[in-house]
Amino acid sequence: MARYFMYLGYDGTNYHGWQIQPNGTSVQEELQKALSTLMRRPVEVVGAGRTDAGVHASLMVAHADIDALADAAIWVGKLNRLLPPDIAVYRMRRVADDAHARFDATYRKYQYHVTTSKNPFLRHYAWRVFQPLDFGRMNEAASVLFEYTDFTSFSKLHTDVKTNNCRILYARWEQTGADEWVFTIQADRFLRNMVRAVVGTLVEVGRGKLTIEGFRRVIEAKNRCSAGTSVPGNALFLVDVGYPEHLFLDAEEKASVSSAVK
């Protein structure tokens, strides 16, 4: 038996999120079924995080304990033939037996896409906003996130986490097209629904309904009711997960995995 990290991507449109659900199809379920078919025994898959229903991932990482592989690339091909067309495994890397896709991650990075015009080709992957937004002010507000670690105001209520503390490493809006913007946020960890709540509150700033100081007070309130509404999940992408290099038992560089999905 050996532990492998699997680097994969998926279109979350048809799934009830990453995690296995009692009454809906999940990405984790599909990956476990494919691996179990190949191994001819039940295989458990553990992901780096739990994306919500409709949320996408251009790069998710998961681990599983399977038979040691002489050529991981061959098994990637076999997995992809079994997986549905909206899920793809990019790479598999041998890791230490105690390496954990969730607990050993040093950071996660998400991106949220916004469009200010109607575009039929973006309807599943960007949120259309109808009012003008001041993205400069939104970036001023986003910079306030670096001053805090307790983000209770942006957390889904009644979760089972022990702490609502996170360390924000990057948070910024950038224009990617004439009518398209993307918010990139990176942190050591995220709370349930956190990114969508942060974006929803930043949009309140962009619409002039909330000042920079008001945004600061939202964070300090440590109350979900103080923050803005959660924006739709279909425009959110998990785009990267980082790990210490000492976990990996092969010689492949992490950078080559990231470049394969850009």
Residue type, 160: D
Digit-coded pLDDT (tens) for 106-129: 999 999 999 999 999 999 999 999
Known catalytic residues are 52
Digit-coded pLDDT (tens) for 46-86: 999 999 999 999 999 999 999 999 899 999 999 999 999 99
Give me the pLDDT at residue 252, please.
Answer: 57
Percentage of the residues of the chain whose pLDDT score is greater than 70: 94
Q: How confident is the model at residue 162 (pLDDT cuts 50, 70, 90)?
A: confident
Digit-coded pLDDT (tens) for 5-51: 999 999 999 999 999 988 899 999 999 999 999 999 999 999 999 99
260 has a pLDDT exceeding 60? no
> What pTM did the predictor assign?
0.92
